Amino acid sequence: MTTTAQRRMKARAAYGACQRLQFLDLTYNNFSVMTLGEVFRSLKQLQNLGLSADVVNRDDFASITDILLQNLFLQFENLTTYENGSLQNIKSKVVCIVVTNHATDEVLIADALSTFDDVQLAGITSSENYLTKVLRQKTSIKTSHLDITNFEMFWPELTDTVNVILQSSIKHLDIYMVTVLGHISPQTLSSVSHLQSFSMKQNNEIDSLPDHIPHLDALKELDLSFNRLLDIPDCNGLTNLQAFLLIGNSIHTPSMGFTDSCPGLREMDVGGNPFMCTCTLRDFAGLQQHHSIKLRRWPRAYSCRYPEAWSGKLLGDFHLPAISCNAGILAAAILCPAVTVAIATLVLCKRLDVPWYMRMTWQWTRAKHRARHPENLEGLHFHAFVSYSQHDADWVKGHLLPSLEECRTLRICQHERNFVPGKTIVENIVQCVERSYRCIFVLSSHFVRSEWCHYELYFAQHQRLSRGSDSLILILLEPLPQYLIPSKFHQLKAMMARRTYLEWPQDNNKRKLFWAHLRAALQASLPEAPDPETQPLLQEAPRE
């Protein structure tokens, strides 16, 4: 076979492969114009096409007018010239346009709304909102499904945009990744609306809905997924709502009040939320059975996050005995035996004269405490021993140690540089705690999951009892709810309940006062520091 014949065969094969092409992305190129050549007529199987250019003319897309696309993506961020009607002969189920926020947008958006059923607009800003201008001018549009994404507006302009959309013939509205500028104040919605579905989800950070939403009687589906809602909102004003989507919010224990305000609700999707499987959740788990509301993706998308014993298990498998969820029965079952035991104990103590012995012991303890000499600092080498999870090492090394050790009178013990080689980790922990005037514990969700941090807190609490002084300093790096603290940290829970801790301030202006309080708590006249040669550096694995 000759070389020429081989080339022809390769060319035919390449041409055949191009004819089967389904995805073609030509965006983010330096095309000044976007005139598609005759070769595009043969791409009959093309479904997804991405284009970008500086200048768009009416004849640029003549070669694809017979092709039905699924998605057309137009990256027109740098568009300078657009000829009216350029999009009217393109056939695509969905068109997504990145706008320029310049005068070319007005004709471009008008073309898109007149041509396509499903239109997505990205990058709109408050400065030049041509979408609002087009909707006010056009009496009829073809678009029934409008997506607006990645845009920022001041609150009055955003409300005005929504009102104009409500007054149009658009039936489905999706809003993603909206940034609201300026002050948020109450605004009035349009009294006329054909909207049937409304979606505001991908990080809008909505944490609540108004008590009443008027004039949305036609709305049948509301999507508030991936926001920050803590509970299922009521349907006040949404009288015909049939589907409510709340995927990926922050709902722990959904209340059931929404069932009374949503008489037409038929479907919900509340999957992907961090459910707390307690008695409160029993009614929600029976939603489908008792209220005839279908939960989409049930049960695979619904799992417990808390408590630890149920973490990761499906809500469909969550069951609690009736006695544990009935306050009256539970109180009777607990209080009756408890009262009986308490009465018997009081009678027994009275006969054995136990109260007298307890009072005497308390008086003796107080007398010993008053007679005690000033605090004995002999044998202490460090002002503080720092206990932390390896996950919080960056904060300790980047903030805590530099801020404390810039005051040269303070000596801080850290396991990575002061543990002695050859000794076990437990021996090193005990020795460092005993040689330190205070023990600083850096509290976080990582801390309570660390076994070594548990040992260090245990030994420090025993030292506190033996020395008769409050030698523990707790620093809270992040909010740490009681239910996240394992039961083995029962003494830590007690101290946290009394708020005997310092909170790491997020405000930079408050941090100087934070460091001043911490340094003041560590000041003590310790004996001379030990010889550095007797404190070798130990390179060890992270203590997790």
The pLDDT score that the predictor gives to residue 101 is 83
Please name the residues in contact with 136: beta carbons below 8 A apart, sequence gap of 6 or more: 164
The pLDDT score that the predictor gives to residue 537 is 41
Hey, what long-range contacts does 133-139 have (CB within 8 A, 24 or more apart)? 133/106, 134/106, 134/109, 134/110, 135/164, 135/165, 135/167, 135/168, 136/164, 137/110, 138/110, 138/113, 138/114
Pick the closest to residue 105 from 115, 94, 117, 97 (CA basis). 97
Please give the chain's pLDDT, 544 residues, in tens.
556 665 655 555 545 556 788 898 888 888 888 888 888 888 888 899 998 988 999 888 888 888 899 999 988 888 889 999 888 889 999 999 888 888 888 898 889 999 999 999 888 876 667 888 888 887 678 888 888 888 777 878 878 888 888 888 888 888 877 777 777 666 666 656 677 887 776 766 777 777 666 666 778 888 888 888 888 888 877 778 888 888 888 888 888 888 888 888 889 998 989 988 888 887 787 787 777 888 888 888 889 888 888 888 888 888 777 676 776 766 777 788 888 888 887 777 766 656 644 644 554 454 345 334 456 677 788 888 998 989 999 999 999 999 888 877 888 898 888 888 888 888 888 888 888 888 899 988 888 888 888 878 878 877 766 655 567 888 888 888 887 888 777 778 877 777 677 888 887 877 787 887 788 778 777 777 655 444 444 444 445 5
DSSP 420: P
The pLDDT score that the predictor gives to residue 95 is 92
Q: Distance from CA of residue 72 to its chain's centroid? A: 32
The pLDDT score that the predictor gives to residue 539 is 41
**Burial of 36: CB neighbours in 10 Å, binned 0-12, 13-18, 19+:** middle
The pLDDT score that the predictor gives to residue 118 is 92
Assign residue 24 a region (left: φ > 0; alpha: ψ between -120 and 50; beta: otherwise): beta
Determine if the pTM surpasses 0.75.
Answer: no
Q: How many CB atoms lie within 10 A of CB 391?
A: 15
The pLDDT score that the predictor gives to residue 94 is 93
The pLDDT score that the predictor gives to residue 360 is 42
For residue 180, what is the enclosing H or E element?
strand 172-181
- What distance in Å separates the CA atoms of residue 16 and residue 10, rounded to the nearest whole number? 10
